[in-house]
Structure 1
Amino acid sequence: MLTLTGVGGVGKTRLARRVAAEARRTFPDGVWSVELAPLQNGDLLAQTVGAVLGLEDRPLGPPLDSLVAFVSDKRLLLLLDGCEHVTEACAELADRLLKTAPGVRVLATSRQALGISGEHVLAVPPLSTPDLDAPVSAEALNESEAVRLFMERAKASAADFAITDRNRQTVARLCQWLDGIPLAIELAAVRLRSLSVEQILERLDDRFRLLTGACHIAPPHQQTLRAAVDWSYQLCSSEERLLWQRLSVFPGQFDLDAVENICCHDGAITRESALELVTGLIDKSLLIREHCQRTSARYRLLETIREYGLMLLTDSGEERVLRRQHRDYCERMILESEKARFGPHQLDWFSRLHLDHDNLRAALLFSLTEPGETQHVFQIVATNDDYWGFHGLLGECRHWLGQALEQDHMQTRARVKALRVAGRYALLQGDTDTARSLLHESHSVAVRLGDSEAVARVTTCFGQAALHRGCPSEAIPLLYEALNRCLEMDGLACTRWWTLHFLAHAFGALGETDKAIAACEESLTLIDMFKAETYRPLSLWTIGLQYYRRGDTGRAADFVKECLRTQQSIDDVCLLSVTQSLEVMAWMAASEDRHQHAAQLLGAAYSRWRSLGTLPSQVPPLSASHAACERRVRDALGHEAFTATFQHGATLTSDQALNCALGEKIPDADECQQGRKLSPTLTRREREVADLIAQGMSNKEIAATLVIAQRTAENHVENILTKLGFTSRLQIASWSMNGRC
Structure 2
Amino acid sequence: MPARTLGNLPVEQTSFVGRRRELSEARRQLSTSRLVTCTGPGGVGKTRLALRIGAQCQRAFPDGVWLVELAGLNEGELIADAVADTFGLSDHRADPTGRLAEYLQDKHLLLVLDNCEHLVDACAVLLTKLLTAAPRLHILATSRQLLRMEGEQLLPLAPLTVFPSDGAGGAGERFASEAVTLFADRAAAAAPSFRLTGENLAEVHAICRRLDGIPLAIELAAVRCRGLGPTEILAHLDDAFALLTSERRGGDPRHRTLETAMAGSHRLCSPTEQRMWARLSMFADDFGLDAVEAVCSGDGIDRSEVFDLVVGLADKSIVIRVDGSYGRQARFRQLVTVRQYGARELASSGEELAVRERHLGYYRALVDRGENAYFHACEIAWFTELRREHRNLRSVLEFCLADPARAPVALDIVARLQFYWFACGLLREGGLWSRRALAAAPQPSAVRAHALVACAYLLEFCGEYDAVASMLDEACVLAGQFGDPATIAQADWCRALRAIYLGDAPSALTLLNRAMVGFRAASDMAGVFRTLIMHGIAAFTVAPDEGRVSAEQARALVELAGAGWSKCIVLRLLGRYRLADGALQETAALFEEALSLAWQTYDLRAIGRCVEVLGWCASGDGRHERAALLWGAADTLRRFVGAEPSYPHISKLFVQYERITRDALTEHGFEAALARGKAMSPAEVVEFTLEKAAPSHEKATAAQLTRRETEIAELVGQGLTNKEIAARLVIAQRTAEGHVERILDKLGFRSRVQIAAWIKGGADDA
Quick check: TM above 0.5? yes
- The partner residue of 2:143 within 201, 208, 213 is 201
Task: For residues 116-140 of structure 1, give each alpha carbon's deviation from its aligned partner in whole angstroms, at most 9, with x where no partner exists.
Answer: xxxxxxxxxxxxxxx9x9548xxx8
SS of match in other structure, 2:143: helix
Q: Read off the aligned partner of 1:339 and give its amino acid letter.
A: N
Letter in 1 for 2:533: H
Q: Secondary structure at the match of 2:329?
A: coil
Q: Per the alignment, do residues 651 and 434 of structure 1 end up closer, same or farther by CA in structure 2, a change over 3 Å counting?
A: farther
Deviates further, 241-250 or 325-334: 325-334
Question: Is 1:154 paired with 2:186?
Answer: no
Letter of the 1:395 counterpart: R
Q: 1:532 to 1:198 in 2, by over 3 A?
A: closer
* 1:467 alignment partner in structure 2: 500
Q: Confirm or deny that 1:311 pairs with 2:372.
A: no
Summarize the alignment of residues 566-577 of structure 1 with structure 2, pairs less than 5 Å apart.
Answer: 566-567=597-598, 571-577=600-606
Report the 3-state secondary structure (helix = DSSP H, G, I; strand = E; otherwise coil) of the residue aligned with 2:333: strand
Spell out, residue by residue over 1:637-677, the C-alpha distance to the aligned partner (whole angstroms, 9 max, x if none): 899987776565344222322244457299xxxxxxxxxxx
Determine which of 565, 570, 580 is the counterpart of 2:609.
580
Conservation of the 8 A alpha-carbon contact between 1:221 and 1:231: no
| Paired letter, 2:308 | E
Distance 1:550 1:443, change over 3 A: farther
Cα deviation per residue 1:67-115 (whole Å; 9 max; x = unaligned)? xxxxxxxxxxxxxxxxxxxxxxxxxxxxxxxxxxxxxxxxxxxxxxxxx
Aligned residues: 508
Question: Deviations along 1:31-74, whole A, 9 cap, x unmatched?
Answer: xxxxxxxxxxxxxxxxxxxxxxxxxxxxxxxxxxxxxxxxxxxx
- C-alpha distance in 1 between matches for 2:400 and 2:635: 35
Q: 1:519 and 2:387 equivalent?
A: no
* Amino acid aligned to 1:366: F
Maintained 8 Å contact 2:321/2:333? yes
The match for 1:244 among 273, 277, 290 is: 277
Deviations 1:215-257 (A, max 9, x none): 2644135743314333321210111111101101101121223
Q: Find the counterpart in structure 2 of residue 531 from structure 1.
A: 562
Distance 1:198 1:663, change over 3 A: closer
1:541 to 566, 572, 585: 572
Query: Is contact 1:222-1:228 (8 Å) kept?
Result: no
Query: Which residue of structure 1 lines up, in the alignment, with residue 319 of structure 2?
Result: 287
Equivalent pair of 2:36/2:140 in contact (CA under 8 Å):
no
Unaligned runs of 5+ residues in structure 1 are: 1-130, 187-196, 667-741
Q: State the distance in 2 between where 1:349 and 1:314 align.
A: 32
Partner of 2:522: 489
The change in CA–CA distance for 1:398 and 1:515 in structure 2 (over 3 A counts) is same
Shift of 1:146: 8.5
Q: In 1, are the aligned partners of 2:551 and 2:574 still within 8 Å (CA)? A: yes
Q: CA deviation at 1:377?
A: 2.5
Amino acid at match of 2:315: D
Secondary structure in structure 1 of the residue aligned to 2:31: coil
Cα 1:263–1:182 change in 2 (3 A) is same
Matched, 1:329 2:362: yes
Read off the aligned partner of 1:516 and give its amino acid letter: G
Partners of 1:331 and 1:380 in 2: CA distance: 7
Residues 123-142 of structure 1: pairs in structure 2 closer than 5 A: 134-135=6-7
Corresponding residue for residue 486 of structure 2? 453
Aligned to 1:357: 390
Aligned to 2:194: none
Q: 1:649 aligns with which of 655, 677, 680?
A: 677
Q: Is the 8 A contact 1:463 1:479 kept in 2?
A: yes
CA positional deviation for 1:592: 6.1
- The verdict on how the C-alpha distance between 1:145 and 1:168 changes in structure 2, with shifts beyond 3 A counting, is farther
Between the aligned partners of 2:420 and 2:474, the Cα distance in structure 1 is 23
Q: Which amino acid aligns with 1:658?
A: V
Report 1:426-441 matches (<5 A): 426-441=459-474
Distance 1:148 1:246, change over 3 A: closer
**Mapped contact 2:404–2:441 kept (Cα < 8 A):** no
Q: Which residue of 2 aligns with 1:164?
A: 31
Q: Give CA deviations for 1:518-551 in whole Å, capped at 9, x if unaligned.
A: 2222112112222223322221111011111223
CA-CA distance at 1:508 after TM superposition:
1.5
- Structure 2: which amino acid aligns with 1:275? F
User: In 2, Cα distance between the equivalents of 1:380 and 1:660?
Assistant: 38
Q: CA distance change for structure 1 residues 552 and 440 in 2, over 3 Å: closer, same or farther? A: farther
1:379 paired to 2:412: yes
Match of 1:552 in 2: 583
Structure 1 contact 381–397 (Cα < 8 Å) conserved: yes
| Partner SS, residue 232 of structure 1 | helix
Distance 1:164 1:391, change over 3 A: same
Q: Which amino acid aligns with 2:633?
A: A
One-letter amino acid matched to 1:329: Y
Distance, in Å, in 2 between the alignment partners of 1:442 and 1:335 is 21
Distance 2:309 2:321 in 1: 14
Shift of 1:488: 1.9
Structure 2: tracts of 5 or more residues without a match: 54-138, 148-155, 166-204, 218-257, 695-766
- Is the Cα contact below 8 Å between 1:149 and 1:182 reproduced in 2? no
- Could you tell me which residue of structure 2 aligns to residue 561 of structure 1? 592
* TM-score for the superposition, normalised by structure 2: 0.58
Counterpart contact for 1:456–1:482, Cα < 8 Å: yes
SS at match of 2:553: helix
Which amino acid in 2 is paired with 1:164? S
**SS state at 1:299 partner:** strand
Cα deviation code 1:433-456 (max 9, x no counterpart): 333333333223222222112112
Tell me the amino acid that sits aligned with residue 406 of structure 1: A
The answer to whether the aligner puts 1:623 opposite 2:490 as a matched pair is: no
Q: Work out the CA distance in 2 between the residues paired with 1:184 and 1:347.
A: 33
Residues 599 and 645 in structure 1, CA contact (< 8 A), matched pair in contact too? yes
Cα distance change of structure 1 residues 398 and 155 upon mapping to structure 2, 3 Å threshold: closer
The residue identity in structure 2 corresponding to 1:152 is: R
Deviations 1:540-592 (A, max 9, x none): 11101111122333322221123224556xx5444343232123224445566
Give the conservation status (yes or no) of the 8 Å contact 1:583–1:626: no
2:540 is matched with 508
Contact map agreement 1:432 1:465 (CA 8 A) in 2: yes
| Separation (CA, whole Å) in 1 of partners of 2:559 and 2:160 | 65
Aligned pairs for 1:53-452 (under 5 A) are: 134-135=6-7, 149=17, 151-154=19-22, 162-164=29-31, 166=33, 178=45, 201-203=143-145, 215=162, 217-219=205-207, 220-221=210-211, 223-224=213-214, 225=217, 226=258, 227-265=260-298, 267-290=299-322, 291-292=324-325, 296-316=329-349, 318-452=351-485
Alpha-carbon offset, residue 211 of structure 1: 6.7
In the alignment, residue 409 of structure 1 is paired with which amino acid? P
What secondary structure does 2:540 align onto? helix
Q: Percent identity?
A: 25
Give 2:614's aligned amino acid.
M
Name the SS for the 1:249 alignment partner: coil
CA distance in 2, matches of 1:381, 1:307: 28
1:382 Cα deviation (Å)? Answer: 2.0
Q: Tell me the SS of whatever aligns to 1:374.
A: helix
Q: 1:352 & 1:339 partners in 2: Cα distance?
A: 14
Do the aligned residues in 2 keep the contact of 1:599 with 1:646 (CA within 8 Å)? yes
Shift of 1:404: 2.4
- Of stretches 397-406 and 646-655 in structure 1, the one that deviates more from structure 2 is 646-655
Q: Deviations over 1:172-201 (max 9, x none)?
A: 999999586689999xxxxxxxxxx97862
Q: TM-score, normalised by structure 1?
A: 0.60
